[in-house]
Every structure is written in C-alpha cells, then in structure tokens.
Structure 1
C-alpha cells in the first residue's frame, strides 16, 4: 500500500522509528529545521512531556512528506521567534573561514563564535537515525 504524502506544518511532531524498536520524536521548525527530543518512547503514543531537545538539524522535506515518520502530535509555537531553530555554523574547509547561518541569512563570524554550534547541513533519514542511536559516522563526513 502506498503511503500518502503529508503537508508539512510548523510544530508538527513526528515519530521516528528506531532500530531498537523504540521511537524518537522530532518537532518541525522553520527553515527546514527539526528538533530531536531527548525522550525515547516505547510506542508512538509515548510522547515527550516537554520541549527538551537533544539536537537541531536541517531535514529534507521529502523525509517529512513521505509518511515514513508519522505525525503524532502538533505543538503550536507561542510566538514566531520561538519557531526558528538556533544559529548554525558554516565552515569553509578550503580557506578556514567561518560564517553563521540564522533565519535564512549568512553572516561572517569567528571560529570562537561558531564553537558549540551545529554545523549547517540538511540530513536524510539514515543520518538522523544514526545520530539518535549514538553512531558518530555522520561526523566523519563533516
């Protein structure tokens, strides 16, 4: 049976099936962002009780539209500013320069400003699941 493609809405919470039979959950943010909750559920109904996130990454729209990760909740943002993911770092491997990407804009920065920030990238299903499961092979591609 074909999976019906879904419309993406800010604040939707997706259940992410994990290889160990549990579920992770991710909440859709602006700018192709998804926040992955710390909480792991024994079922899709075992939702996170609060907004405690493990990490934020960019995710391809086709991942969220495919139905592979079902929408299990919707958590409205209280104001527009809250819907933006945190700033991300862009590192130019050729010249070593750093930039910060935030709210769709890029600005020059120092390496110190980038310390601790997520590297700007858009992730596919298997890479997000690997990271949730603690597999660091995704770091080797950065």
Structure 2
C-alpha cells in the first residue's frame, strides 16, 4: 500500500485539537502562515462561519502534515492579494533596528510602525496551542 503525503494548500482549513477537548481552526495563507479563527468549536464539525481571525503566524509545514491537525475544509480566498498574510515585524537585536516583512520582502521600518504587528516567526504546534488557550508565554514583548 502506498501512503499518500498530505499536501498543504493555501485555503485549507485544519481542525486543531485543544487540551480542553474543543477544537480551534486554522486557515492556510501564503508564505507558510496560518490564520487561527476566533471561533472555537466543541467538535471538528463546528467550523467557523465568519472569516475572523484571532491571529496569523508562520507555522512549520510538518505541523500541517502531521496527523494531529485534520484537514476539514477548503475555503478559497476572495482574491490572490487576500491570500497573503498581513505585514509582520522584525527586530534586529544586534543592530537595534526594526523592519517589516511582507510578501517575502523585508523593508526598513520604525518601532512605532512595528509596535502592533505580529512578530515574523515560525511557530511550533505547542506554541500555537498555548496561544489559543490564552497562555501568552511565547509573546516576545
């Protein structure tokens, strides 16, 4: 028997099992990111009705390809542009400078412009689950 690898596709929606036996849901964006919906379900079938996200972060592809997060839906983005995650901030600790990461490009910025942006980083499964559950220990501020 040939085992088929799980293909990660922009627009895929995954059910994320939580420690409290509920489910969060995440939608795949371009640039290796996932948007975590605000709405939590009691079952995998209780998919969010609204496209409202709590946060959007980078995610390791092996998390999406694992058997823990289950592909439950596909939701096409209204446009190619909307499939890109929002701008993210980058702080260079050595130089003390700020930049903005967007669509694979890094451009110089200021602390003020970066203040309310998500930190450009790739998250592991447990970090995303902690954040969904309200444990903000992975927040670098």
Q: TM-score range by the shorter chain?
A: over 0.9
TM-aligned CA deviation for residue 70 of structure 1: 0.5
Partner of 1:67, secondary structure, is coil
Partner of 1:6, secondary structure, is coil
Name stretches of at least 5 consecutive residues in structure 1 with no aligned partner. none
TM-score by length of structure 1 reads 0.94
Match of 2:49 in 1: 49
| Distance in 2 separating the partners of 1:4 and 1:122 | 25
Match of 1:132 in 2: 132
Native 8 Å contact 1:60 1:124 kept in 2: yes
Match of 1:74 in 2: 74
Match of 1:27 in 2: 27
| Distance in 2 separating the partners of 1:11 and 1:85 | 12
| Distance in 1 separating the partners of 2:114 and 2:6 | 35
Partner of 1:101, secondary structure, is strand
TM-aligned CA deviation for residue 28 of structure 1: 0.1
TM-aligned CA deviation for residue 66 of structure 1: 1.4
Residues 61-90 of structure 1 show CA distances to partners (whole Å, capped at 9, x for unaligned) of 111111210010100112100100000000
TM-score by length of structure 2 reads 0.94
Total equivalences in the alignment: 139
Hey, which of these two has a bigger chunk of helix by percent?
1
Match of 2:109 in 1: 109
Name stretches of at least 5 consecutive residues in structure 2 with no aligned partner. none
